[in-house]
């Protein structure tokens, strides 16, 4: 019996051996060639961006030089970068792969997604290399990607890694988008550069990196770019709609909250005086459809898509919200409003030498905490009359010479009148709220700095 066993084993091994040697050698693709080919398609479109940022603080003009990266997306010079790279920039200069330097203008920005569209000043008849976008929804964990840009100001740099997570939820960075997490190095200066797949197409825009965690970086996916960029091109901004809803998923592991239902999204609370609160939506309502489209947030990663759906609703057009309250279905009619509509335009006040803006709950939540509507000092010019007074940026204006101020129109009217009577009455008394404390400040406008 033992001899038979040895014989069978010998036959088995012999068969395996013959199978192994019968396999034809397979062609293989050198990964180095894949990387080189992908890099060559996008690298010429990567730009190094330097911006001059101008601001005023304590009456003094401050010039700050900031740098970042970008990627050209059209032959006539349209390029993408981050909002935080070009925010408050008065000058934008770009260095191309071939050594050409060009100025650029900001076409549009969106702080909510940290995206900006700029346009290079390309001479007539000239063109620039550009990169193509890929569908980021086709990415999967483990895919190889390259982060390109100018880390620490060192232009024409590339790092390689894999996609660590395709749907990373970072609520403090963007309420409308998930993020691509990668271990390709994304350092300061990489912001705005492209995240590129092995086909040589852009799957995202590098935006965030953990400084002391070199293997953790984040890029905004191209599926978000395809929504935001056309609006930046057409309007210069994204006019997100707003309902005033704070939403929660059905399951939240971190907070140990689990609802025994399979569809819908939970209302955590509604903002005071918002479209949602005026329509009668309440905390703990479970919304199952918005404007006829079913919504479900099983986990937190599902929330950005619902917020984006709300943000793209037509403003001023009534819609139906279907919800479950106390296990009973009901529907309410709600009218979306523009998210930043209270902000208004910046109002320049010559001779006062300052600019003012309307308080906005989104852009100025710290001021909104003290006063729900009104006007605040946005900028103080240097040198100027406001700079010589005790007024400061972020002061909420309550009264001017005893006249209440509740809107930009109030300031515009008072300002126009003050210019007519400047010789008879060169001083104005401002009543302002500064971090919750009432202060009185005198503004002397007898001096005309613009004529000096």
Residue 351 and residue 425 share a domain: yes
What's residue 61's pLDDT?
66
- 208 shares a domain with 145: yes
* Structural domain includes residue 430: yes
Residue 204 lies in a domain: yes
The pLDDT > 70 percentage for the chain reads 90
* Model confidence pLDDT, tens digit, residues 92-131: 999 999 999 999 999 999 999 999 999 999 988 888 999 9
- Structure tokens of 194? 């492209």
Clarify whether residues 261 and 318 are in a common domain. yes
Q: Which positions are catalytic?
A: 84, 114, 191
Q: Is residue 7, in this structure, part of any structural domain at all?
A: no
446 and 397 within one domain: yes
Give the model's pLDDT for residue 451: 80
In a domain, residue 10? The reply is no
Residue 225's nearest CA partner among 87, 115, 118, 337 is 115
Residue 6 has what pLDDT?
Answer: 39
Q: Are residues 284 and 372 in the same domain?
A: no
**Domain co-membership, 246 together with 231:** no
The domain tally of the chain equals: 4
**Domain check: are 226 and 268 in the same one?**
no
Asked if 248 and 280 sit in the same domain, the reply is yes
Q: Do the domain assignments include residue 324? A: yes
This prediction has a pTM of 0.74
Tell me, yes or no, whether 112 and 163 share the same domain.
no
CATH number at residue 160: 2.40.10.10
Determine, yes or no, domain membership for 218: yes
pLDDT given for residue 419 in this prediction: 94
**Tokens found for residue 382:** 């240097």
Report the alpha-carbon distance of residue 59 to residue 427 in Å, rounded: 19
**Secondary structure of 233-250 as H, E, C letters:** HHHCCCCCEECCEEEECC
Domain CATH number, residue 433: 2.30.42.10
Residues 355, 441: one domain?
yes
Q: What is the pLDDT of residues 314-336, one digit of tens each?
A: 998 999 999 999 999 999 999 99
Give 83's contacts (C-beta < 8 A, 6+ positions apart). Answer: 109, 110, 111, 113, 114, 115, 116
Residue at a domain's end among 338, 363, 390:
338
Which secondary structure element, helix H or strand E, spans residue 48, and what is its range? strand 46-57
- Please report whether residue 51 resides in a domain: yes
Can you give the residue range of the structural domain that contains 402?
347-451
Q: Please check whether residues 305 and 375 belong to one and the same domain.
A: no
From 200, 235, 270, give the residue that closes a domain.
Answer: 235
Please check whether residues 351 and 291 belong to one and the same domain: no
- Domain end, chosen from 311, 338, 365, is at 338
How confident is the model over 332-386, as pLDDT tens digits?
A: 999 999 886 544 457 889 999 999 998 877 777 889 888 888 999 998 887 899 9
Residue 276's pLDDT band (cuts 50, 70, 90): very high
- In a domain? residue 13: no
């Amino acid at each position: 019996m033992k001899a038979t066993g040895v014989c069978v084993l010998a036959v088995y091994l012999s068969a395996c051996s013959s199978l192994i040697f019968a396999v034809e050698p397979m062609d293989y693709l050198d990964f180095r060639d894949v990387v080189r080919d992908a890099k060559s398609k996008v690298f010429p479109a990567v730009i190094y961006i330097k911006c001059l940022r101008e601001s005023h603080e304590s009456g003094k003009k401050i010039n700050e030089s900031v740098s970042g990266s970008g990627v050209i997306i059209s032959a006539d010079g349209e390029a993408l970068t981050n909002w935080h790279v070009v925010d408050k920039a008065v000058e934008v200069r770009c260095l191309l792969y071939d050594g050409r330097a060009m100025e650029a203008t900001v076409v549009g920005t969106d702080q909510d997604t940290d995206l900006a569209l700029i346009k290079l000043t390309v001479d007539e008849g000239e063109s620039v290399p550009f990169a193509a976008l890929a569908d980021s929804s086709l990415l999967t964990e483990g895919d190889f990607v390259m982060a390109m840009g100018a880390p620490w100001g060192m232009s024409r740099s590339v790092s390689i890694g894999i996609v660590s997570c395709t749907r990373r939820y970072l609520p403090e960075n963007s309420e409308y988008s998930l993020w691509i997490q990668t271990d390709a190095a994304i350092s300061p200066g990489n912001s705005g550069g492209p995240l590129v797949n092995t086909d040589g197409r852009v799957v995202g825009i590098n935006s965030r990196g953990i400084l002391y965690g070199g293997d953790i970086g984040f890029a905004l996916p191209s599926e978000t770019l395809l929504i935001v960029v056309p609006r930046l091109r057409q309007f210069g901004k994204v006019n997100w709609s707003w309902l005033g809803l704070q939403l929660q998923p059905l399951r939240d592991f971190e907070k140990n909250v689990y609802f025994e239902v399979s569809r819908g999204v939970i209302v955590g609370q509604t903002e005071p005086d918002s479209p949602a609160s005026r329509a009668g939506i309440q905390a703990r309502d479970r919304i199952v459809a918005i404007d006829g489209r079913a919504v479900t947030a099983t986990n937190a990663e599902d929330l950005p898509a619902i917020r984006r759906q709300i943000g793209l609703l037509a403003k001023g057009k009534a819609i139906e919200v279907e919800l479950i309250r106390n296990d009973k279905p009901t529907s309410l009619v709600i009218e979306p409003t523009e998210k930043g509509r209270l902000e208004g335009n910046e109002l320049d006040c010559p001779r006062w030498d300052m600019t003012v803006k309307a308080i906005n709950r989104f852009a100025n939540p710290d001021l909104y905490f003290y006063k729900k509507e009104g006007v605040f000092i946005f900028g103080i010019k240097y040198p100027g009359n406001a700079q010589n007074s005790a007024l400061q940026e972020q002061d909420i204006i309550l009264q001017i010479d005893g006249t209440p101020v509740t809107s930009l129109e109030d300031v515009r009217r008072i300002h126009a009148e003050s210019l007519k009577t400047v010789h008879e009455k060169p001083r104005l008394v401002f009543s302002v709220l500064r971090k919750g404390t009432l202060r009185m400040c005198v503004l002397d406008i007898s001096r005309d700095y613009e004529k000096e």
